[in-house]
């Protein structure tokens, strides 16, 4: 399995020709199945894909980790490029997602462009529960709450029928890929908490080692990444708890933030790597 970061907040060494943005898009080549996991915040992922030799027209399936613009902002462009791939995502949202700013006086819409559902009604597949969407590729939408959710979620809201509510992130999913007798777990931002997501997978696939965890952990401060919502001790505890699971390697980036990444790295050592724009990993 090869996984390429088409777009992320940073750019890998010696690839100044690529673009970066606050977003995430991964291209997965697994047993001749080509998957697009998230589509960044804009069409920049497409321009990077061309430079990285990735043909988006040949993607067989797209999966949207959750319904925020920085993961689905490029979906409209993808659906124009690719005429065959279905887009799998979690249950259709009842409300709209917002970022709470200025004490809630001005709330910024951070959801998807709803026009894409009208323009491409037959391209979306809404998943509830656990579904095997292709051979050995699973989507899980019911995520356990054993551990706390990230504190950064406190600024993220849903507006339903005029009511402003904390976003419960029931529109977030986990992707699990079985490769031989091991698992690969993909998260988008892990708004439900990376530990909850791993725990959910372990419960559904007991006694199976985890080859890799890939995705963001939502530990960066928004809009100021240097201001961490969690304390250093809390981030270290997340790293320590991750190491208790049967995980070989963790690849993270995007909303984890470089400051939090440094703290995690101190605890996890060579089990943790940064996955930035342009990098391809073979798992």
Tens-place pLDDT, residues 247-258: 999 999 999 999
- Of the listed ranges 27-41, 87-101, 232-246, the least confidently predicted one is 87-101
Give the three-class secondary structure for 166.
strand
Ranges 52-66, 126-140, 151-165, 206-220: which has the least confidence: 151-165
104 band by pLDDT with thresholds 50, 70 and 90:
low
Residue 164 has pLDDT above 80, yes or no: yes
pTM: 0.96
Percent of residues, the chain, with pLDDT higher than 70: 99
User: What value does the mean pLDDT of the chain take?
Assistant: 95
Which of 31-45, 170-184, 211-225, 235-249 has the least mean pLDDT? Answer: 211-225
The pLDDT assigned to 102 comes to 65
With tokens 């020709």, the residue in question is 17
ω into residue 16 within 30 of 0, thus cis? no
pLDDT at 221: 85
Residues 6+ apart with CB under 8 A from 18: 11, 12, 48, 51, 52, 277, 278
Domain 2-282 sits in CATH 3.60.15.10: yes
Question: Which carries the bigger pLDDT value, residue 92 or residue 220?
Answer: 220
What is the band of 91 on the pLDDT scale with cuts at 50, 70, 90?
Answer: confident
pLDDT of residue 14: 82
Stated length of the chain:
283
103 or 116, greater pLDDT: 116
Question: If you search the block for the tokens 């928004």, which residue do you land on?
Answer: 222
Q: For residues 135-161, give the mean pLDDT.
A: 95
């Amino acid at each position: 399995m090869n996984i390429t970061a088409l777009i992320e907040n940073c750019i890998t060494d010696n690839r100044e020709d690529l673009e970066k943005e606050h977003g995430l898009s991964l291209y997965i080549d697994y047993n001749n199945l080509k998957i697009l996991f998230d589509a960044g915040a804009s069409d920049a992922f497409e321009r990077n894909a061309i430079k990285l030799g990735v043909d988006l027209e040949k993607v067989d399936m797209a999966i949207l980790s959750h319904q925020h613009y920085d993961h689905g902002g490029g979906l409209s462009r993808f659906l124009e490029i690719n005429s065959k791939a279905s887009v799998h995502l979690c249950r259709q949202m009842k409300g709209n997602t917002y970022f709470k700013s200025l004490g809630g006086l001005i709330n910024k819409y951070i959801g998807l462009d709803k026009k894409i559902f009208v323009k491409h009604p037959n391209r979306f597949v809404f998943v509830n529960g656990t579904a095997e969407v292709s051979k050995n590729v699973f989507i899980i939408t019911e995520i356990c709450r054993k551990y706390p959710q990230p504190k950064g979620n406190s600024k993220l809201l849903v507006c339903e029928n005029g009511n402003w509510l904390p976003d419960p992130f029931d529109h977030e999913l986990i992707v699990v890929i079985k490769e031989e007798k091991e698992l690969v777990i993909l998260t988008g931002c892990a708004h439900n908490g990376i530990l909850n997501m791993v725990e959910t997978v372990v419960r559904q696939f007991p006694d199976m080692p985890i080859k890799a965890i890939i995705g963001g952990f939502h530990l960066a401060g928004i809009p100021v990444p240097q201001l961490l919502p969690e304390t250093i001790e809390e981030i270290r505890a997340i790293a320590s708890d991750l190491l208790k699971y049967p995980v070989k390697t963790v690849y993270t980036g995007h909303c984890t933030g470089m400051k939090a990444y440094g703290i995690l790295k101190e605890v996890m050592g060579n089990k943790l790597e940064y996955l930035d724009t342009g990098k391809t990993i073979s798992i």
